[in-house]
Amino acid sequence: MDTLPLKLILTPTLIATASLAGRRWGQAVSGWFVGLPLTSGPVAFFVAVDHGVAFAAATAFGALAAAMAEAAFCLAYGYAALRWQWPIALTTACVAFTLTAVVLGPLSLGMIPLGVIVLAVLAAAVQVMPWRAAAAVGPAPPRWDLPARMVTATVLVVALTEAAPVLGPRLSGVLAAFPVYAAILTVFGHRAGAAGAVQVLRGLLLGLFGFAGFFLVLGLLIERAGIALAFTIASASALAIQTGSLTLVLGSRKTLGA
């Protein structure tokens, strides 16, 4: 089955929707929105179609574990932003993500124990994430911003799915979970001050509960239930969790004055 046309249509559509929603409802909501598996979900789907359910199950394991690396990214950027501008903060966050992913690479657990650990790590990260007063309103994004995000997302999804046989399932899952869009949103938020970056990252942390739920359910079901049913239930689970976490995101916006 040739999935390239679907990749070229679905991926930019998802990213455009997420970006426009963030512009409409604010930085914290944009971070929460991109917590959904907007890139890693399509990657997992195309991997399942192209390489089979066993490969996709291992990819789901890698993506679930990578949620902890995303939490490390958020904390590293959040605290670095209190002292430095975005280039240093972003570099620090990327290093934190990479080191955490490397440490987690040899991890050998069942999906359920891993899911419990991931949820505990995310809950702890939310508690220790720095709080800042509201940021000033930043400049409007340039005209090329949205097309650039769409192109970047599509290139990433196509590249990862095409390279999956070489990278292996777990590494594919980890790389697919790298917070590319959250990083872009955070840098744009940081232009208005550290508080803008923190708002995006706090929203992302809360959104990652839905991300973790998606891959936990997917990893548990895909070899038993098949691609269609597993992705349907995983997506419904992620949306249900995201709906619940939205209350916390909106509360965070009020606390931060966003």
Q: pLDDT tens digits, residue range 229-257?
A: 999 999 899 888 888 777 666 555 545 44
As given in the structure block, the two tokens for residue 44 are 């997992």
Q: For residue range 180-210, what is the model confidence (pLDDT) as tens digits?
A: 777 777 877 787 677 778 888 888 888 889 8
Question: What's the CA gap between 231 and 233, in Å, rounded?
Answer: 6
| Residue from 208, 189, 179, 187 nearest 256 by CA | 189
Q: What is the mean pLDDT of residues 54-58?
A: 87
Inter-residue long-range contacts of 224-231, CB under 8 Å, 24+ positions, other chains counted = 226/53, 227/45, 227/48, 227/49, 227/53, 227/56, 230/53, 231/45, 231/48
Residue 121: helix, strand or coil by DSSP? helix
Residue 86 token pair? 């975005």
Nearest to 186 by CA among 174, 176, 200: 200
User: If pLDDT is split at 50, 70 and 90, which confidence band does 258 have?
Assistant: very low
Domain boundaries, the chain: 4-256
